[in-house]
Structure 1
């Protein structure tokens, strides 16, 4: 291996490593939790282990004395230790985030356990909203947990979106598809209002006042206005729109240029049977580009098929002379066989015969 190849390989591997590292970092950041979500996961895990230890009790010794002196097991320090030992271990994702916050909030959780108790206050509200102040109540945002903006029918974001309701949120509405405005109370571009619901315009429209291609404010690129309605422009009418070795396929509002079959120099469509001109060592024959050998092979194979068909028909004729019922079944089978055989061929027998004998 020369040094130039070695350095090129090393450089490519280095670039790939940078690209993959960026992708992994982006994925990590995309999954990174904010403070509120971390707190929600921690409170859910704490509640999970409270439920898990709900049937526990003091083990061994004088249980009556322990409950009298150490309080009941339900509010005991022993149960709290069991909860804290299991905390976050059941999680399949974001376990590390949970562990970090659990360590930071250990004393706060102990205060809730001994002073308020698991039945006297909702842990999520007490811990995440009131104490740590990482979260806001539902439909509130910002440092002061202000109410999110209401729109139509006094609903948050008019019932067509969600509010950025974290402590660091700005309270702006994130509208559902089709809605726009500060309160998601108007239809977005290319949507129209129908019975208080924003419906999509026709695909031909660039803005509309109702359903259908005749309700467009203006036509999109690839469409033209004819008699008050936006209709598709057939770009493929222009034979020069694609390269010489490509053919045009029209789509609604656009077109696509596809390469001709490698046997064609120019063509009208895909496949080997739509050629309009050929390379120098081939001749155009019924849409095919072929040399003399291919043409001879095609003629020979066609004669073989024709002889087979004639033979089958002769057999059907002799059967018909003896029994018409059986002959009908045989003729049906032969017809199906011939149909499938011709359907699977690039060029059918009639076209070969007509090109060879009628030209």
Structure 2
């Protein structure tokens, strides 16, 4: 049991290691890299927002009548902390920060952070890695809107939204389809204009809820009494090969191999045999090989000889000593009981 638990823990550790390694090495596209960087910049912009100079050349800054909020000192503080707060993709953030350091300095000197967002200035307008919200593609075209001015009807998202990629088609939420995600998808039915629910698993298209609302039945199901019901394929005795047994599932079935000791079987394991190979004997659903069969047979003959001897001995004793005959019969019964009990336990242990 301990060995099994150790194997399980080892497998879990390997899965976690692969998962977190894949996250760490995942390559971000240019837009997402820029977004990670700009989010970190905004975070440090907020962290360094204080109303006075602290340390360094603070006196010199005040002498020049420069506000700390737009000072070179504050920019240095931001750049020193930049990307250190990023949990995922930190290496990619540092790489881009080094590439665009001069651009961030340019934004800091010439733009007003209260009116010009660093993400929009750097990622959308300058580097052209991203698009504004609800726009997509190389030219940042607007995403499709329905008659109510909702992007993809409010039931999906625009392909490439916010990036310089994609074709702008609507990627609909589960259960919806159409240019603006206005219709229910195949094997879904409409409850109201805002929701589509899945058909019953037996249905190949439906008008509503349940197996009785199916338009057609899927393979593995059949129409009975107005509803699609499971076909029990296992009633066909030839559905599986001779050395297999059938398991019926809803809408399907499976053929599993019998235990190696069985010729044919009715289920899994070595106790569900229905027939055996020529050199084996069927015993309580199990196939016994020739050696074990001879062992059991030999044991039975020995016990038979013992019982015959005891009966003859009891008969002679009865003729000579009738007074102790009852005690003799009781003693023989006890011997037979424990002999049979030991034999049965032995057979079960062997099987």
TM-score higher than 0.5: yes
Conservation of the 8 A alpha-carbon contact between 1:42 and 1:88: yes
CA–CA distance in 2 between the matches of 1:171 and 1:48?
A: 31
Is the contact between residue 25 and residue 89 of structure 2 (CA under 8 Å) also seen in structure 1? Answer: no
> For residues 193 and 185 of structure 1, what CA distance do their matches in structure 2 show?
11
Deviation at 1:109, TM superposition (A): 1.3
Deviation by residue 1:126-173 (Cα, 9 ceiling, x = unmatched): 222233332222212233333211236432111211112122232111
Please, which of 117, 121, 146 is the counterpart of residue 116 of structure 2? 121
Structure-2 separation of matches of 1:86 and 1:74 = 16
What do the CA deviations read for 1:28-73 (whole angstroms, capped 9, x no partner)?
9993222211111111111222233334734267x44531316122
**Would you say 1:181 and 2:182 are equivalent positions?**
no
Distance (whole Å) between structure 2 residues aligned to residue 130 and residue 201 of structure 1: 47
CA distance in structure 2 between the partners assigned to 1:174 and 1:64 by the alignment: 57
Name the structure 1 match of 2:99: 104
Match of 2:45 in 1: 50
With over 3 angstroms needed to count, the CA separation of the structure-2 counterparts of 1:245 and 1:92, relative to structure 1, is: same
Contact 1:75 1:117 in 2 (8 A): no
- The superposition leaves residues 250-292 of structure 1 with CA deviations (integer Å, 9 ceiling, x where unpaired) of 1111111112223211111123332111122322234232343
Aligned CA distance change for structure 1 residues 77 and 288 (closer, same or farther; 3 Å): same
Question: Which sections of structure 2, spanning at least 5 residues, go unmatched?
Answer: 1-17, 301-344
Shift of 1:297: 10
Aligned equivalents of 1:191 and 1:120: distance in 2? 47
For the pair 1:244 / 2:250, whether they are aligned, the reply is no
Aligned to 2:333: none
Structure 1 length-normalised TM: 0.69
* Structure 1 residue runs of 4 or more that deviate by more than 6 Å after TM superposition: 296-299
Q: 2:203 aligns with which of 197, 205, 213?
A: 205
Aligned 8 A contact 1:58 1:73 in 2 = no
Instruction: Identify the residue that residue 264 of structure 2 maps to in structure 1.
Output: 266
TM-score by length of 2: 0.70
Which residue matches 1:224?
Answer: 222
Q: Does 1:86 align with 2:78?
A: no
Q: Distance in 2 between matches of 1:188 and 1:70?
A: 65
Give aligned pairs, total: 278
Q: Let me know the Cα RMSD of the aligned residues.
A: 3.1
